[in-house]
Structure 1
Amino acid sequence: METQKIAEHISTWLKDYANKAGVKGFVVGVSGGIDSAVTSTLCASTGMPTVCVEMPIHQHPDQVSRAQEHIAQLKNRFNNVCDERVDLTQSFETFKNAVPNSDNEAILNLTLANTRARLRMTTLYYIAGLHSSLVAGTGNKVEDFGVGFYTKYGDGGVDLSPIADLVKSEVYALGAYLKVPAAIQNAAPTDGLFGDSRTDEDQLGASYDELEWAMKQQDLGATSADFIEREKEVFDIYSKLNKVNQHKMQPIPVCEIPPEWK
């Protein structure tokens, strides 16, 4: 993997897109994970104003400290970087108290997790509006186009996606080249939407390395019958998630009206 060429290519792409759009720079939600760390560093490397936004909602302390370490490092490295911290915990609690509840704890917890992501999206667009900037997405290829591991109109609500053609292992390689803090490079991936220490692997049932393998196998035309034991289990996990989350990956369906009826 030619990390330097890829980093320079993405940085140039970001700058060209922003200039053509007539905006000043970028806004990135920084979570303490590798994807947002790489994305924010790439945005900063354009030389254009880059706002790193931390948005805790009952956040696990480890995630907070990693995000703060990364933001401090970026501000030391790039004079075009600034940051905002918007604690959304009270806003989240106010929302919870204003909407209907549910006796189904699993569904309630997932719905509230998605609500956190959507509150953050709203915040990012508010700050982007103040700065005449674009919201840069932080999703990688496996999340965005493989298993759909993101919230529609939450972390999936962005203006452009600089790392969405890179699988997780490639994001890590780019992170090492970009000198992302070691604490972030070594941390287990987590979406941070539940206020605890659960990882992405806990939720998905497979690691990103396994999901990358399954994504490649599906692209090669493999089926579940081609594998046994753990490989079969992982392939089935990937295939199921890829199927049920197509509504996130495909354009919004439009009901087309026959022309003669208009």
Structure 2
Amino acid sequence: MQTEKVVKHIVKWLKDYANNAHVNGFVIGISGGVDSAVTSILCAETGLDVLCIEMPIHQAESHVSRAQEHITFLKENYSNVSAIRTDLTPVFEEFKTEVSLQGKQATVDMALANTRARLRMTTLYYYAGLKGLLVAGTGNKIEDFGVGFYTKYGDGGVDLSPIADLMKSEVYAIGTYLKVPASILKAAPSDGLFGDARSDEDQIGASYPELEWAMTQDENGKTASDFSGRQREVFSIYKRLNTANQHKMVPIPICDIPKNYK
């Protein structure tokens, strides 16, 4: 990958899009992970306003410290960056008092995890509307179009996706080029939706390098029967998640009404 050219291309794309939309810049949620770190720097490089928002909900301390470290890094290097902290923990807890929590614990836990992401999306769009900004997404290609590892209408609810055509390994390469803090580059990827230290790999059952391999094999027309051992296991994980999450990757189905019915 020609990293410098990719960075300049994305920055120009972001700036052109914002200017054509007649907005002031971008708002982005900062999680302490590499995807939001890279995306926020790319947005900052446009010279337009960038509002970074911390939105903790029972967040692991390691995530909070990395997010704060990155925001400090941004503000020290870019005069167009501002930041606010919106603690959504009380909102989340109040939500839980108004809904049923009955059911299988794993199902309830997943529904609540997705609720966290949707509360954050609502917060981002509140500030976007208030300040005339676009919500910048942080999903990469594996998450958005490979295994669908994001929350529909949560972190998937964005105005534009600057790094969605980049594999996770490419995001790391850009992060290194942009001098993202080492603590973020070295941290295990995690969505932080469960308030503990579980990683993305813990949830998915495969690492990002493995998933990138599986995505490439799938695009080349391979099937699980072409592999054995760990490779077959990883490929099967990829295909299962890719199939189950197609509803996130395709447009919302619309029931077309025959013209003679109208």
Give the TM interval when normalised to the shorter protein: over 0.9
- Paired with 1:19 and 1:120, the residues of 2 have a C-alpha distance of 25
Identity %: 66
Please state whether the residue corresponding to 2:82 is helix, strand or coil: strand
The one-letter code of the counterpart of 1:118 is R
What is aligned with 2:196?
A: 196
Q: Residue type matched to 1:160 in 2?
A: L
1:184-220: per-residue Cα shift (whole Å, max 9, x none)? 0000000000000000000000000000000000000
- Confirm or deny that 1:70 pairs with 2:70: yes
User: Does 2:125 align with 1:120?
Assistant: no
Show structure 2 runs of 5+ residues with no match.
none
SS at match of 1:251: coil
In structure 2, the partner of 1:4 is 4
Matched residues in 2 for 1:249 and 1:18: separation?
Answer: 24
Q: Cα RMSD over matched residues?
A: 0.4
State the alpha-carbon separation in 1 of the partners of residues 183 and 80 from structure 2. Answer: 24
**CA–CA distance in 2 between the matches of 1:258 and 1:103?**
41
The letter for the 2-side match of 1:214 is A
- CA deviation string 1:103-137 (max 9, x = no partner): 31000000000000000000000011111000000
SS of equivalent residue, structure 1 residue 193? coil
Provide the TM-score with structure 1 as the length reference: 1.00
SS of the residue corresponding to residue 255 of structure 1 reads: coil
Question: Aligned partners of 1:173, 1:106: CA distance in 2, in Å?
Answer: 35
Letter in 1 for 2:219: D
Give distance in 2, aligned partners of 1:102 and 1:203: 23
CA distance in 2 between partners of 1:255 and 1:155 (Å): 26
Query: Which segments of structure 1 move beyond 4 Å, counting only runs of 4 or more?
Result: none
Unaligned runs of 5+ in 1: none
CA drift of 1:100 comes to 1.1
In structure 2, C-alpha distance between the alignment counterparts of 1:8 and 1:98, rounded to whole Å: 47
Do residues 232 (structure 1) and 232 (structure 2) align? yes
1:99 Cα deviation from its structure 2 partner: 0.7
Q: Indicate yes or no: 2:233 matched with 1:247.
A: no
- C-alpha separation in 2, matches of 1:220 and 1:240: 17
Show the 5 A alignment for 1:1-262: 1-262=1-262
Counterparts of 2:84 and 2:135 in 1: how far apart (Å)? Answer: 14
One-letter identity of the residue aligned with 1:65: S
Other structure's SS at 2:134 match: strand
Structure 1 CA distance for aligned equivalents of residues 13 and 180 of structure 2: 21
- Output the TM-score relative to the length of structure 2: 1.00
Please tell me the residue identity of whatever aligns with 2:70: H
Q: Which moved more, 1:97-106 or 1:16-25?
A: 97-106
Partner letter of residue 162 of structure 1? P
Other structure's SS at 1:26 match: strand
| Alpha-carbon distance between aligned partners in 2 of 1:79 and 1:257, rounded to the nearest angstrom | 52
Determine helix, strand or coil for the equivalent of 1:145. Answer: helix
Cα separation, 2, equivalents of 1:98 and 1:3: 48
Once residues 149 and 103 of structure 2 are traced to their aligned partners in structure 1, the CA distance between those partners, rounded to angstroms, is 25
